[in-house]
């Protein structure tokens, strides 16, 4: 096993070792300075890097290259160019120049821009991101391509992607955190990096059954389906033994990911039937984002080979837990110090207390932004819909840190800290060990987990670039405010202590260690004045408020136009998704469910009259026929009503906010009326008569 890993690990990424071996020393040094220290990229080295990359990629079989980028959609984009060029005399050469490595010009007009770019001025550029390693992948069509992670901007320099603002936010937190560290007397750190380990949840179902579900194919989630007799109530799936077929899938998935240098730290069954999770080893917020895209794409690709379908949607099944992507976030220095690590004596660690206060203040001051950053049509089914986690932003600290915070608030400083107790089982054969100082909490949207914060709101399909960009930015902004104030202080230590105490006192309201799913918490949060934004459409307008524009512009992360563009893209996307769901629902009702029910009705009626001809009263048949007819007409009426509501959406097209709101408040709400009679009919029809696989078949028969 170990041999296997070391043979393939990172084989398909242009790694540090590949660079060291293949690049001239000076080129390697210069490139590393950009990657490690954030120094401006020296474009004169590009030819040399391109030649080495091409040679390396061709050894793996690559014939094409592409700038691999992240437009404002949910997936990555690529346009393959061949290494082959023609030369004057009609011959061909294989080439890949520095110019081609650094910059490409895809036609930008087909990507969402939120009005940043008129269709008539289609120019957009992709630019090489040397901080995320290039890699080679095989496409489904069999092409082997060198992929160069890239940023995507318009002709006028505005970002049209998720990567550019993320990189800018990493610069911002680096700058502000370094400034703070210098004040604490740190003379060795030269860079602070924000890191994340995104835990990815997903469902695996049978591919053939998936293919029979129009809703899963069109929308990624089921729009119909009644719960089977067994759901997740027995709690037997979570961490349960992994089925052979799934184990084989996971093995191949791991091997494919190793090639990209991605190592799964843990993998296990999740709470819901057919649900699983993969947690990779963490990396910088930029590299982890790219890797997470590769994880999602590889999950789907490998599933197909095992006759499985991987569902990444946030809520594929009603009544069954949905999928999220827990983002484990921390900031650390290039000399190895994790600034979120309390250490053995957090009561004495003023620097840690300073960063803790900064994170809590940032989260409280910008709860709307964080909430927004995890919003999508799919995630609306989770956040605030009585599922993990609630839509209210709060932070869980655990007993140890909460105690420290309380001491600071009460006395101005902490003098002691709770330590982990000894584990005593009572059985002589079991080992004893020191337990963690803090228990876990599973319902908090923003939980401290030892030496990192876990932002749990993010949806499973979502790119983590946006939420990580927001988190980096708001913490950078808070650090900036704090260091600016401290610069004026005569007695640094006294000023920090005072500041930490004030901030913790002011933002203590965000700390909540209880059950985040309970109704009491909703009421309590309201008393504390914490925002509770119910849905994505209501969250989006916070993106470009004056307050937020000034935060993003102040740190050079995004300007007002870029923010507004993202807000528009989100709303547009929301309306489109609900529209697709509505049309799919109508199609399934009219073309699949209603005809199937009518056939069964006809069969029942025929049987009833045959029985009656024998002189027997067909009471069961007649009663069933009555029930079915009633529900069938309810279904037909609701479907017609939904069609009318969808048609009316055109009236709101002028204003994207109103249009999206209409889809949320009116169209989406009308889904229930269609679904209810359909799901009831499913229960009345015999097994095999329903036109597509049921929840029972999808969830329990892989």
List contacts with ligand ADP (CB under 6 A).
Answer: 195-197, 199, 265-266, 279-282, 328-330, 338, 449-452
Of the pair 468, 533, the CB lying nearest ligand ADP is at: 468
Cα–Cα distance for residue pair 632/685, rounded to 1 Å: 12
Cα–Cα distance for residue pair 269/246, rounded to 1 Å: 10
Residue 617 exposed, middle or buried by CB count within 10 Å (0-12, 13-18, 19+): exposed
The residues pairing with 65 across neighbouring beta strands, listed in sequence order, are 81, 146
Least Cβ distance, residue 472 to ligand ADP (angstroms): 13
Least Cβ distance, residue 451 to Mg ion (angstroms): 17
List the single partner that 193 binds among Mg ion, ligand ADP, none, CB under 5 to 8 Å by kind.
Answer: none
List the single partner that 20 binds among Mg ion, ligand ADP, none, CB under 5 to 8 Å by kind.
Answer: none
Whose CB is nearest to ligand ADP?
197
Cβ atoms of residues 15 and 28 within 8 Å: no
Of the pair 443, 463, the CB lying nearest Mg ion is at: 443
Other beta carbons within 10 Å of 298: 20
Of the pair 515, 579, the CB lying nearest Mg ion is at: 515
Residues 230-249 close enough to bind Mg ion by CB under 5 A: none
Least Cβ distance, residue 162 to Mg ion (angstroms): 23
Least Cβ distance, residue 326 to ligand ADP (angstroms): 7
Least Cβ distance, residue 134 to Mg ion (angstroms): 31
Of the pair 137, 326, the CB lying nearest Mg ion is at: 326
Of the pair 159, 267, the CB lying nearest ligand ADP is at: 267
List the single partner that 298 binds among Mg ion, ligand ADP, none, CB under 5 to 8 Å by kind.
Answer: none
List the single partner that 195 binds among Mg ion, ligand ADP, none, CB under 5 to 8 Å by kind.
Answer: ligand ADP
Residues 41-60 close enough to bind Mg ion by CB under 5 A: none
H/E element holding 65? strand 64-68
471: left (phi over 0), alpha (psi -120 to 50) or beta: alpha
Cα–Cα distance for residue pair 658/651, rounded to 1 Å: 10
Cβ atoms of residues 432 and 377 within 8 Å: no
List the single partner that 197 binds among Mg ion, ligand ADP, none, CB under 5 to 8 Å by kind.
Answer: ligand ADP
Of the pair 329, 512, the CB lying nearest ligand ADP is at: 329
Q: Using alpha carbons, select from 591, 601, 577, 599 the residue that is nearest to residue 671.
A: 577
| Contact mark string toward Mg ion, 144..183, x via CB under 5 A | ----------------------------------------
Cβ atoms of residues 569 and 112 within 8 Å: yes
| Contact mark string toward Mg ion, 187..226, x via CB under 5 A | ------------x---------------------------
Other beta carbons within 10 Å of 431: 6
List the single partner that 265 binds among Mg ion, ligand ADP, none, CB under 5 to 8 Å by kind.
Answer: ligand ADP
Counting residues that bind Mg ion (by CB under 5 A) gives 1
Of the pair 279, 667, the CB lying nearest ligand ADP is at: 279
DSSP 8-state symbol, 64: E
The three-class DSSP label of residue 279 is strand
Least Cβ distance, residue 265 to Mg ion (angstroms): 12
Least Cβ distance, residue 91 to ligand ADP (angstroms): 50
The three-class DSSP label of residue 332 is strand
**Token pair 């309380």 in the structure block, residue:** 406
List the single partner that 514 binds among Mg ion, ligand ADP, none, CB under 5 to 8 Å by kind.
Answer: none
List the single partner that 379 binds among ligand ADP, Mg ion, none, CB under 5 to 8 Å by kind.
Answer: none
Least Cβ distance, residue 460 to Mg ion (angstroms): 11
Cα–Cα distance for residue pair 578/347, rounded to 1 Å: 50
Of the pair 277, 679, the CB lying nearest ligand ADP is at: 277
Least Cβ distance, residue 295 to ligand ADP (angstroms): 11
Least Cβ distance, residue 95 to Mg ion (angstroms): 46
Contacts of 400 (CB under 8 A, 6+ apart): 342, 346, 417, 418, 437, 438
Cα–Cα distance for residue pair 134/146, rounded to 1 Å: 7
List the single partner that 266 binds among ligand ADP, Mg ion, none, CB under 5 to 8 Å by kind.
Answer: ligand ADP
Of the pair 282, 446, the CB lying nearest ligand ADP is at: 282
Least Cβ distance, residue 87 to ligand ADP (angstroms): 48
Q: Using alpha carbons, select from 535, 576, 560, 575 the residue that is nearest to residue 657.
A: 575
Of the pair 264, 580, the CB lying nearest ligand ADP is at: 264
Of the pair 195, 353, the CB lying nearest ligand ADP is at: 195
Least Cβ distance, residue 64 to ligand ADP (angstroms): 32
Cβ atoms of residues 15 and 31 within 8 Å: no
Least Cβ distance, residue 197 to ligand ADP (angstroms): 2
Of the pair 355, 662, the CB lying nearest ligand ADP is at: 355
The three-class DSSP label of residue 38 is coil
Distance of CA 186 to the CA centre of its chain: 34
Q: Where are the alpha helices (DSSP H) in 264-421?
A: 285-305, 350-365, 367-373, 398-411
Cα–Cα distance for residue pair 383/476, rounded to 1 Å: 26
Of the pair 338, 564, the CB lying nearest ligand ADP is at: 338
Contacts of 533 (CB under 8 A, 6+ apart): 368, 371, 372, 384, 391, 539, 542
Token code pair at residue 166: 């993320």
Cα–Cα distance for residue pair 390/457, rounded to 1 Å: 8
Token code pair at residue 371: 């909430």
**Angle made by CA atoms 552, 176, 406, in degrees to the nearest 5:** 100
Query: Residue numbers of the site for Mg ion (CB under 5 A)?
Result: 199
């Amino acid at each position: 096993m170990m041999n296997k890993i070391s043979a393939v690990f990172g084989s398909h990424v242009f790694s540090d070792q590949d660079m060291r071996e293949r690049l001239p020393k000076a080129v390697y040094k210069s490139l590393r300075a950009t990657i490690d220290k954030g120094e401006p990229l020296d474009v004169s080295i590009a030819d040399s890097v391109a030649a080495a990359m091409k040679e390396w990629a061709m050894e793996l079989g690559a014939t094409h290259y592409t700038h691999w980028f992240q437009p404002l959609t949910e997936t990555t984009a690529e346009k393959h160019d061949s290494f082959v060029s023609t030369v004057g005399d009609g011959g061909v050469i294989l080439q890949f120049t520095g110019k081609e490595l650094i910059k490409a010009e895809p036609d930008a007009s087909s990507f969402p821009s939120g009005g940043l770019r008129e269709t008539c001025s289609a120019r957009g550029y992709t630019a090489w991101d040397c901080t995320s390693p290039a890699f080679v992948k095989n496409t489904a069509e069999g092409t082997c391509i060198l992929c160069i992670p890239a940023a995507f901007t318009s002709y006028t320099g505005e970002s049209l992607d998720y990567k550019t603002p993320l990189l800018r936010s990493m610069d911002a937190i680096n700058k502000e955190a370094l400034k703070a560290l210098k004040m604490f007397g740190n003379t060795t750190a030269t860079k602070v990096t924000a890191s994340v380990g995104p835990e990815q949840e997903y469902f695996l179902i049978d591919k053939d059954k998936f293919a029979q579900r129009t809703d899963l194919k069109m929308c990624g989630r089921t729009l119909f389906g009644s719960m089977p007799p067994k759901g997740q109530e027995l709690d037997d799936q979570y961490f349960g033994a992994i089925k052979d077929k799934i184990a084989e899938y996971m093995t191949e998935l791991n091997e494919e990911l190793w090639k990209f240098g991605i190592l799964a730290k843990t993998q296990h069954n999740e709470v819901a039937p057919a649900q699983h999770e993969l947690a990779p080893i963490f990396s910088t917020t930029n590299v982890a984002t790219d890797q997470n895209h590769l994880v999602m794409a590889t999950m789907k690709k490998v599933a197909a080979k095992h006759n499985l379908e991987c569902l990444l949607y946030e809520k594929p099944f009603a009544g069954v837990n949905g999928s999220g992507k827990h983002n484990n976030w921390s900031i650390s220095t290039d000399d190895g110090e994790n600034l979120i690590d309390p250490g053995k004596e957090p009561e004495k660690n003023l620097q840690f207390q300073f960063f803790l206060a900064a994170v809590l203040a940032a989260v409280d001051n910008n709860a709307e932004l964080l909430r927004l950053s995890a919003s999508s049509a799919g995630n609306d089914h989770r956040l605030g819909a009585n599922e993990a986690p609630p839509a209210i932003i709060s932070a869980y600290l655990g007993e140890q840190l909460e105690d420290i915070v309380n001491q600071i608030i009460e006395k101005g400083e902490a003098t002691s800290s709770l330590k982990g107790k000894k584990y005593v089982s009572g059985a002589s054969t079991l080992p004893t060990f020191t337990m963690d100082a803090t228990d876990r909490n599973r319902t908090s949207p923003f939980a401290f987990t030892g030496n990192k914060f876990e932002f749990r709101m993010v949806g499973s399909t979502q790119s983590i670039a946006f939420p990580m960009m927001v988190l980096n930015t708001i913490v950078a902004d808070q650090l900036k405010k704090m260091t600016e104030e401290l610069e004026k202080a005569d007695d640094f230590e006294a000023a920090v202590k005072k500041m930490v105490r004030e901030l913790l006192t002011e933002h203590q309201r965000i700390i909540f260690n209880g059950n985040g799913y309970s109704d009491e918490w909703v009421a309590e949060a309201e008393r504390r004045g914490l925002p509770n934004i119910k849905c994505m459409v209501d969250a989006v307008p916070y993106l470009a408020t004056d307050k937020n524009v000034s935060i993003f512009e102040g740190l050079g992360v995004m300007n007002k136009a870029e923010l507004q563009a993202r807000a528009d893209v989100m709303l547009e996307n929301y309306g489109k998704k609900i529209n697709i769901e509505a049309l799919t629902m109508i199609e399934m009702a009219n073309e699949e469910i209603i005809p199937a029910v009518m056939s069964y009705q006809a069969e029942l009626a025929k049987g009833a009259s045959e029985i009656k001809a024998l002189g027997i009263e067909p009471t069961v048949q007649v009663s069933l026929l009555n029930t079915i007819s009633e529900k069938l007409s309810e279904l037909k009426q609701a479907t017609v009503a939904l069609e009318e509501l969808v048609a009316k959406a055109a009236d709101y097209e002028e204003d994207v906010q109103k249009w999206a709101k209409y889809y949320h408040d009116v169209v989406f709400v009308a889904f229930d009326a269609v679904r209810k009679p359909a799901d009831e009919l499913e229960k009345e029809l015999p097994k095999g008569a329903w036109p597509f696989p049921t929840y029972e078949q999808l969830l329990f028969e892989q």
